[in-house]
Chain A
Amino acid sequence: MNRSDAPLPRPEAPDELVRRYHEASAQDPARPSPALREAVLAQARASAAGYAATGNGPGSPSAGTPEWIADNDPATPGSSQKYLKSPTPTAPGGRQAANDTSWRLRAVASVAVLGLATLLFLQFERGTPQERERVSGGATVSSEGLPSRPEPVVPPVLPSAAVPTPLPAPPAAPTPAPVPEPARTQPPPPAPAARMPADPAPVAGALNDAPAPTEERRAEMALGTAPGPAAGPPPVAPAAAAAPPPSPAPAPAQAKALATAPAESPARLAQAPAPARDRDAAADAARLALAAPSPAERLLSAAATGTPDRVRQALQDGASVNAADATGRTALMLAARRGDEPMVRLLLASGSDRSKTDSAGLTAAEHARRAGHATLAALLDATESTVPAPVR
């Protein structure tokens, strides 16, 4: 028989070893100090008087009493381990923590919460000023993933004639509220949860810590700059140019999957199915809808949202038809990405340069082709003379 399996002696009947120990202890001259007994009994007498006077109430320990406390319930392992060296007496029923093993659980939970908060904050920091403004401004989000602000798209400096008419084409056409320029440069307090359901793709991209930002990410970053040549993000990865096959997966389900995906590679984003592209267009619209109200920005916003009246108005207000966002995308490219042929025709008729490329080196035709709009891509590839006049 293994000796480690031998039964332990019952403490009620001290075994030989314990007896030997007590024999040895009896010969040990070490004893507690008599002063200890006096001090303890004096304390007990004082407290007993207090208990008798207050009807079993708590005593009033003297000022010199050590302040470490222990729970009085040894029958419960969890609670019996709670005690604390505290400078103040413990209230009855109060839990002490210094020897509380549940502090580990609390520590893990704190670290998890801190990490989540940091992740959300970093995600917020990666956003453009417009996105931050959108988050802090409490913009409501429609079911199509577009902000649904009721304010008209009229910058404060424009005449009242610029009020747009109701828009027919795209779902939930965004109408960004005019925002003063300084407000866009000040990052508001983070509230990233407000933007996550509105645009799952950037969320998935944000969760991906790949060194180079995705195309969608760059599009987001581009919105915070004035129209003009591309500046900032590096060229897109070659894998991003691969045209994806359509997928019958419904957009909401995919959006949910993307929102919950821990990481999203650029190549996977490039291979997003058709509903994803639609969502991309909606995301473009949503992001551009929040752009600053300069004419060029309004032009880009209108091109991304498919509102020709606003495009015309922006052009009348002096916007350059070839104005581009920070990623170099022009209004023509944005319209091409959505497959908005009337808008493309309108922009071409207005003098948009179809040969311009964005920071990824893509022309409007290539954007259309990537998005699966082959006919429109062919139209954009055609010579200028073959392009018919805008229908509208």
Chain B
Amino acid sequence: MELQVAPPDETLMQAFAAGDAGAFETLYDRHQLAVWRYVQRSVHDAALADELVQDVWFSLVRQAPRYEPRARFRTWLFTLAHHRLVDHFRTHHPSLSLDATTDDGASLADALAADSGFSPLRQLQSREQAQALLDALAALPATQREAFLLQAEGALTVTEIARTTGVPPETAKSRLRYARASLRLTLEGLL
């Protein structure tokens, strides 16, 4: 029996740009949940996430003829989603910003310095614990939360996170580090 290797995202996208609707469906099924979660955990509203994610995919469809595989498809997809979120926050929540360049992490940094190490995380025992982790994620500063989501949902590297969010790599790295440290502290309190 011959093992079939799934075509990479970039190939599927080029196939779709050439008129292959099935290639797009494969792409969509491969990434739709990650993108949706990334957006939904940013806006905390499933219906709104549907609307924004639809915009993201529509935009991707529209720009398919101009797509060039110069970067990972996933990076591009999450960049589109990031832009859509920024646009949404700028329009509806001017006080919030996903592209802010400042981080509210000083107190967390102090806490990290006092914490000598993390204990191994055990499996989440209950639905309440899982929800507590997601609540802790939701409580993060928007920029830190986004950095973690781009890593966890988008599987992006620090460089890709920086590129996607339009910040220097050091900034992206700092955001991600604070987010992860904060979530670890939450998990240690749960377990």
Interface positions of B (Cβ within 8 A of A):
16-21, 24-25, 28, 32-33, 36-37, 40, 46-47, 49-50, 53-55, 57-59, 61-68, 70-71, 75-76, 79-80, 83-84, 86-87, 90-91, 99, 109, 112-113, 115, 117, 120-121, 123-124, 127, 129-131, 133-134, 137, 148, 151-152, 155-158, 160, 162-164, 166, 173, 176-177, 180-181, 183-184, 187
Q: Which residue of B lies closest to A40 (CB)?
A: B57
Within the complex, which residue of B109, B166, B184 is in contact with A17, where a contact is CB–CB below 8 Å?
B184
- A-B pairs, 6 with minimum CB distance: A52-B19, A24-B130, A48-B21, A75-B71, A44-B24, A74-B79
- Are A57 and B79 in contact (CB-based, < 8 A)? no
In this complex, which of B64, B68, B160 has the most chain A Cβ atoms within 10 angstroms of its Cβ?
B64
**Chain A residues with CB below 8 A from B55, complex form:** 66, 68
**A70 and B68 in contact, given A18-B151, A24-B124 (Cβ under 8 angstroms):** no
Q: Judge whether A83 and B61 touch: CB under 8 Å.
A: no
A65 within 8 A of B: yes
A81 sits at the interface (CB 8 A): yes
Secondary structure type dominating chain B contacts: helix
Contacts of A17 in B (CB 8 A): 121, 180, 183-184, 187
Assuming A3-B115, A75-B70, A77-B166, what are 11 further A-B pairs, CB within 8 angstroms? Answer: A11-B155, A20-B133, A21-B133, A25-B134, A32-B33, A36-B54, A48-B20, A52-B20, A61-B61, A72-B67, A89-B62
Query: CA A45 – CA B83 in complex, angstroms?
Result: 24
CB-based contact A3/B113 at 8 Å? yes
B19 touches A49 (CB 8 A): yes
Tell me the complex Cα distance, A99–B157, Å. Answer: 22
For A48, what are the chain B residues with a Cβ–Cβ distance below 8 Å?
Answer: 16, 19-21, 24
Q: Which A residues lie at the B interface, using CB under 8 A?
A: 2-4, 8, 10-12, 14, 16-18, 20-25, 27-28, 30-33, 35-37, 39-41, 43-45, 47-49, 51-53, 56-59, 61, 65-66, 68-70, 72-75, 77, 80-81, 83, 85, 89, 92-93, 98-99, 101
Say yes or no: A32 contacts B36, CB within 8 Å. Answer: yes
| Complex A-B: 7 CB contacts under 8 Å | A24-B134, A25-B130, A44-B57, A53-B19, A69-B62, A77-B166, A81-B166
A224 to chain B, nearest CB (A): 51
Q: Which of B25, B47, B59, B180 contacts A68 (CB 8 A)?
A: B59
Q: By the criterion CB–CB under 8 Å, are B71 and A30 in contact?
A: no
Number of A-B contacts (CB under 8 A): 207
- Partner pick for A41 among B24, B151, B160, CB 8 A cutoff: B24
Closest to B173 in A: A8
- Residues from chain A with Cβ under 8 Å of B151 in the complex: 11, 18
Are A80 and B163 in touch, CB under 8 angstroms?
yes
Residues of A within 8 A of B120 (CB): 16
* A23, A37, A47, A59 pick with most chain B CB within 10 angstroms: A47
Given known pairs A39-B54, A70-B80, A74-B163, the reply for A32 and B49 (CB within 8 Å) is yes
- Give the nearest-CB partner of B75 in chain A: A74
Separation of A274 and B117 alpha carbons in the complex (Å): 79
The smallest C-beta distance from A156 to any residue of chain B, in angstroms, reads 64
Cβ distance A318 to chain B, nearest Cβ, rounded Å? 72
- A37 contacts which chain B residues (CB < 8 A)? 28, 32
The reply to whether A44 and B21 form a contact with Cβ atoms under 8 Å apart is yes
**Cβ of B47 to closest chain A Cβ, rounded Å:** 8
Q: Are B177 and A4 in contact (CB under 8 A)?
A: yes
Closest residue on chain B to residue A6 by CB atoms: B177
Q: Are B50 and A61 in contact (CB under 8 A)?
A: no
Given A3-B181, A25-B37, residue A32 in contact with residue B83 (CB < 8 A): no
Question: Out of B21, B62, B130, which one reaches A45, CB within 8 Å?
Answer: B21
Beyond A20-B187, A32-B36, A32-B50, is A101–B62 a contact (Cβ under 8 Å)?
no
Q: Are A98 and B32 closer than 8 Å at their CB atoms?
A: no
A18, A24, A69: residue with the most chain B Cβ atoms closer than 10 Å: A24
Bound form: Cα–Cα A73–B65 in Å: 13
